[in-house]
């Protein structure tokens, strides 16, 4: 630190003496670059350290505390050249900064928006863009320059601990939802960071694990979403992941960061590393990882030393520095934006309340149990009802001003919760919190979920006597650094099972209904117990207004129109990936830190290839609990006969959706394509596009238009490392889910089309 600071100062003095100092402008980037010393270039490529790593000790210059306390990281300033420092902040569900500051009475809470899975389940790109606009406004008004989001990794396994931050098992949903989110955020003149690039499929040993993935799965599943978002939305930055990929760290992988991202897709922003310590900084720079975050003095020193020794070319350094300068001139800090620190939190609370309802998925609704009718008193069960989970843990958590729990939400909606349950659960919560149960999270850092409370059968029977209906919430928490477990996490715990059994038994015996609310960021087991509930509403982790959002759906103020963006399997191990996923695997390094080459810890084989999610279940005809794309509504929809017309580079399809029920609602229509026979295996069908109607009144219709180009019909052929769209007839299907296809038409491609790519991503172990 000292050495580098002195070198920098000396360089600045020499340069100052030698010439007038250009000040950074969008049109003089090369001039500024030419005026920079090697040391200055090196520090610009290394972040300013952050609080986690001890700002000022490991960091190089400054820290987020000097700028925006609690933000994830900074880039450094070089005042003599008019280069400002900028601020990078998490994360996908809102701006993650410290809510309070030393000697400052003002608070800095940020809106806790719905998590990634909830947003994606809206299937509504306009709405996601609107959420992005609101969130981006908070980025800007809290003095930040880049939001470290969206999270775009694929739900390869339902057990990945960060699935709540990500969107889907499908790259097309992931790509288009991410593009909408990026467009919304960036409309504020701040940046985004697509993360974690790429194949960051597990949390277990995430900093070291070598994800072994073949070229086809890489291209079709793990990269496709990033490709769509890069091309559609021009994000300012991309975050390279922690893990290795077929050998090297992604951060040191030039094929990934330059050949594919820039040369093939045309990305022109910066790549920053995920928040790790020094690795091979020269390899990172050469690969095209322009910015090392959070930033350590040793990294800048290494850049200087490696250039001097000839192991790193100064041309590579200049390429990254030029990109950094191009990034900097776009930022609010460069433009001197006077941020207010007072974003309109009230207006944004309304955005999160409404958007959360649209992502909620009605899984079951026997005999129109919902919306609630003639209900005076509700017996509200489940600790989560009283301690609602707004979002996941880790860097994806947000310091939000409040969380509306379900008890409060029902109360706000004028629905009465029985006093007995209210008193019992609130006392339990208070007791557990005082005990510190919420502070020790095994579900990632952040507030832990409280253990479920066992309620006596006598108490439940009494509730069934006095209340009109039972509402029971099942909650789950997960987050960064941990994958989920099957027992007591994916599966219900014994206490939850007993509670559900007793509640169903007691209420059904008296002819009363049971509604289950699932308050989770990711998939849980439902097959074994769904028959016990009359209605099931998947509320996700719906943000700080959660209880109000759920109440809006329960009362029918809002009609749920969310649909699943991932398969809900019968069991946790039904996904082919479960053969190669860390289920119960723990540390593999011995006392001396030697590596053991343990499967699913030190390396993970993606042997299932492209058989991820519905591509597997649908093709194999394997039973699921709820299929990809599934979700009910309080109304019903019919689809017309579709049209498919060839365009100059693909086809345009239309289908008219009519609300055939008795209340207003929206529907998400999914366009799947079955490709003609080819010399490689194809899934039974793949999602290629989707669209959502506006709110249709009963009897009202809307014609939806879908555009699909031939390139997106192509599959990746490893034999000639090319995307190939085979000639022949494509069956275009319009579905309410992948298992509920309601209309179809044909598209014929006269000639086989081929797009050649670079021959890369060879698995480093046999799959
Ligand atoms: C996470 C990133 C996050 C970064 C900064 C990392 O540990 O993986 O998603 O943006 O920290 O907080």
Residue 467 has a pLDDT of 98
Q: Which of 65, 145, 255, 274 is catalytic?
A: 274
Distance of CA 378 to the CA centre of its chain: 34
Region 708-712: what's the mean pLDDT? 98
Measured between alpha carbons, how far is 708 from 645 in angstroms, rounded to an integer? 11
Q: Residue 447: which pLDDT band, with cuts at 50, 70 and 90? A: confident
Distance of CA 674 to the CA centre of its chain: 28
Residue 52 has a pLDDT of 41
Q: Note if 274 is an active site residue.
A: yes
Q: 639 in ligand 1 pocket by Cβ < 6 Å?
A: no
Region 700-710: what's the mean pLDDT? 98
Q: Atom of ligand 1 at shortest distance to CA of 395?
A: 12
Residues in the chain: 767
- Extract the tokens encoding 151: 């999270």
Residue 270: CB partners within 8 Å, gap ≥ 6? 236, 237, 238, 290, 291, 320, 323, 324, 327
Classify strands 686-692 and 722-725 as parallel, antiparallel or unpaired.
Answer: unpaired
Residue of 609, 729, 752, 747 lying closest to 681 (CA atoms): 609
Region 71-90: what's the mean pLDDT? 95
* CB neighbours of residue 40 within 10 Å: 23
State the SS3 of 404-441: CCHHHHHHHCCCEECHHHHHHHHHHHHHHHHHCCCCCC
Q: Residue 55: which pLDDT band, with cuts at 50, 70 and 90? A: very low
Is the predicted pLDDT of residue 661 greater than 60, yes or no?
yes
pLDDT tens-digit readout, 86-119 = 999 998 999 999 999 999 999 999 999 999 999 9
Residue 583 has a pLDDT of 84
Is the predicted pLDDT of residue 139 greater than 50, yes or no?
yes
State the SS3 of 127-151: HHHHHHHHHHHHHHHCCCCEECCCE
**Cα distances (angstroms) measured from residue 209 to each of 203, 592, 674:** 9, 18, 35
What's the whole-number average pLDDT of the chain? 93
User: Backbone phi, then psi, for 333, in 5-degree steps?
Assistant: -65, -40
Measured between alpha carbons, how far is 214 from 221 in angstroms, rounded to an integer? 11
Q: Residue 592: which pLDDT band, with cuts at 50, 70 and 90? A: low
pLDDT tens-digit readout, 173-191 = 999 999 999 999 999 999 9
- Extract the tokens encoding 76: 């450094």
Query: How far, in Å, from the CA of 351 to the mean position of ligand 1?
Result: 25
Q: Residue 449: which pLDDT band, with cuts at 50, 70 and 90? A: confident
Q: 372 in ligand 1 pocket by Cβ < 6 Å?
A: no
Residue 714: CB partners within 8 Å, gap ≥ 6? 723, 724, 725, 753, 755
Residue 586 has a pLDDT of 52
Is the predicted pLDDT of residue 231 greater than 80, yes or no?
yes
Pocket mutation for ligand 1, best pick of 63, 87, 91 (most atoms within 8 Å of C-beta):
91
Q: Would you call 676 exposed, middle or buried from its count of C-beta atoms within 10 A (0-12, 13-18, 19+)?
A: middle
Of 386 and 20, the one with more pLDDT: 386
Residue 595 has a pLDDT of 58
Measured between alpha carbons, how far is 453 from 494 in angstroms, rounded to an integer? 11
How does DSSP classify residue 206?
Answer: T
Residue 597 has a pLDDT of 84
- Extract the tokens encoding 381: 């069960």
Beta strands in 76-190 (DSSP E): 86-89, 146-147
Residue 593 has a pLDDT of 55
Q: Residue 226: which pLDDT band, with cuts at 50, 70 and 90? A: very high
Measured between alpha carbons, how far is 432 from 570 in angstroms, rounded to an integer? 33
Q: Atom of ligand 1 at shortest distance to CA of 52?
A: 12
Torsion region of 189: left, alpha or beta (phi above 0 gives left; psi -120 to 50 gives alpha): left
- Extract the tokens encoding 514: 């049971």
pLDDT tens-digit readout, 670-689 = 999 999 999 999 999 999 99
């Amino acid at each position: 630190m000292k050495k580098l600071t002195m070198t920098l100062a000396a360089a600045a003095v020499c340069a100052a003496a030698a010439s007038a100092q250009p000040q950074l402008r969008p049109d003089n980037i090369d001039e500024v670059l030419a005026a920079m010393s090697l040391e200055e270039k090196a520090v610009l490529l290394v972040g300013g350290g952050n609080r986690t790593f001890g700002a000022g000790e490991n960091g190089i210059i400054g820290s987020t505390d000097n700028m925006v306390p609690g933000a994830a990281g900074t880039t450094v300033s070089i005042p003599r050249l008019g280069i400002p420092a900028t601020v990078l902040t998490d994360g996908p569900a809102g701006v993650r900064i410290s809510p309070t500051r030393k000697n400052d009475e003002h608070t800095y809470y940020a809106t806790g928006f719905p998590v990634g899975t909830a947003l994606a389940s809206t299937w509504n790109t306009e709405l996601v863009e609107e959420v992005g606009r609101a969130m981006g406004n908070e980025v800007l008004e809290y003095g930040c320059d880049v939001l470290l989001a969206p999270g775009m990794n694929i739900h390869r396994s339902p057990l990945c601990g960060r699935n709540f931050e990500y969107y889907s098992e499908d790259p097309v949903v992931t790509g288009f939802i991410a593009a909408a989110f990026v467009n919304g955020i960036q409309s504020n003149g701040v940046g985004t960071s697509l993360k974690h690039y790429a194949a960051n499929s597990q949390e277990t040993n995430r900093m070291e694990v070598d994800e072994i993935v073949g070229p086809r799965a890489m291209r079709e599943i793990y990269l496709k979403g990033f490709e769509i978002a890069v091309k559609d939305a021009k994000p300012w930055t991309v975050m390279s992941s922690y893990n290795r990929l077929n050998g090297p760290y992604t951060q040191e992988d030039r094929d990934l960061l330059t050949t594919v991202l820039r040369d093939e897709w045309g990305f022109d922003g910066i790549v920053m590393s995920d928040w790790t310590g020094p690795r091979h900084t020269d390899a990172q720079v050469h690969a095209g990882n322009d910015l090392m975050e959070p930033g350590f003095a040793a990294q800048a020193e290494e850049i200087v030393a490696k250039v001097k020794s000839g192991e790193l070319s100064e041309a590579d350094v200049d390429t990254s520095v030029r990109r950094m300068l191009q990034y900097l001139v776009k930022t609010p800090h460069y433009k001197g934006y006077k941020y207010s620190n007072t974003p309109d939190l009230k207006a944004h609370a309304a955005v999160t309340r409404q958007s959360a309802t649209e992502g909620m998925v009605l899984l079951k609704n026997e005999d129109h149990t919902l919306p609630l009718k003639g209900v005076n008193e509700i017996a509200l069960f489940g600790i989560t009802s009283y301690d609602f989970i707004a979002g996941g843990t880790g860097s994806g958590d947000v310091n939000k001003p409040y969380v509306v729990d379900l008890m409060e939400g029902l109360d706000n909606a004028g629905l009465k919760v029985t006093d007995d349950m209210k008193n019992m659960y609130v006392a339990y919560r208070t007791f557990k919190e005082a005990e510190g149960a919420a502070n020790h999270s095994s579900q990632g850092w952040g507030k832990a979920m409280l253990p479920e409370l066992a309620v006596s059968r006598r108490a439940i029977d009494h509730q069934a006597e006095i209340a009109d209906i039972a509402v029971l919430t099942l909650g789950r928490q997960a987050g960064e650094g941990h994958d989920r477990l099957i027992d007591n996490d994916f599966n219900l715990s014994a206490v939850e099972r007993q509670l559900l059994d007793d509640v169903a038994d007691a209420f059904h015996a008296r002819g009363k209904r049971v509604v289950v609310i699932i308050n989770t960021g990711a998939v849980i087991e439902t097959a074994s117990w769904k028959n016990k509930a009359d209605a099931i509403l998947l509320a996700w982790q719906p943000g700080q207004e959660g209880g109000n959002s759920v109440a809006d759906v329960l009362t029918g103020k809002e009609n749920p129109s969310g649909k699943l963006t991932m398969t809900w399997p019968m069991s946790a191990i039904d996904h082919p990936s479960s053969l190669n996923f860390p289920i119960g695997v723990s540390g593999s390094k011995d006392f001396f830190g030697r590596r053991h080459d343990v499967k699913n810890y030190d390396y993970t084989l993606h042997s299932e290839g492209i058989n991820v999610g519905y591509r597997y279940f649908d093709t194999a005809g394997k039973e699921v609990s709820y299929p990809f794309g599934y979700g009910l509504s309080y109304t019903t929809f019919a689809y017309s006969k579709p049209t498919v017309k060839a365009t100059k580079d693909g086809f345009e399809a239309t289908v008219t959706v009519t609300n055939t029920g008795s209340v207003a609602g929206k529907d998400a229509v999914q366009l799947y394509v079955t490709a003609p026979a080819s010399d490689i295996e194809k899934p039974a069908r793949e999602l290629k596009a989707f669209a959502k109607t506006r709110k249709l009144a009963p009897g009202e219709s809307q014609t939806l238009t879908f555009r699909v180009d031939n390139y997106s019909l192509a599959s990746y052929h490893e034999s000639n490392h090319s995307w190939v769209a085979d000639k022949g007839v494509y069956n275009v299907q319009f579905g309410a889910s992948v298992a509920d296809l309601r209309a179809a038409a044909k598209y014929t491609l006269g000639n086989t089309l081929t797009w050649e790519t670079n021959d890369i991503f060879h698995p480093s172990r046999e799959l």
